[in-house]
Amino acid sequence: MGYSLPIEKMTNIEKILAMEKLWEDLCRDPQAIDSPTWHGEILAARERSVKAGKSKFVTLKSAKEIIKDRLK
């Protein structure tokens, strides 16, 4: 089953709205979507890093400030 959208004729707003609708629909049954293997590998590595004391948690506000500083 193929669908075709006139993507080249759509505005950026229309494209974003279409993506949001697709994402909303996909989120209705998250178990139907298999995560790629590398997602699990990254999560496991991050968990090991936290357990080893190599990672720390920061607030969302702090994380935003860190990102802003890196972009300067």
Q: Count of H helices and E strands in the chain?
A: 3, 0
**How many residues in total does the chain contain?**
72
Closest CA to 18 of 53, 32, 9: 9
Establish if 2 belongs to a structural domain. no
Give pLDDT tens digits for 6-55: 999 999 999 999 999 999 999 999 889 899 999 999 999 999 999 999 99
Is the model's pTM score more than 0.75? no
In a domain, 3, yes or no: no
Look at residue 1 and tell me if it is in a domain: no
Question: How far apart, in whole angstroms, are the C-alpha atoms of residue 40 and residue 48?
Answer: 12
Taking a C-beta distance cutoff of 8 angstroms, is the pair 55, 49 a contact?
yes
Tally of domains in the chain:
1
Q: Which domain holds residue 31?
A: 8-70
Q: Is residue 55 part of a domain?
A: yes
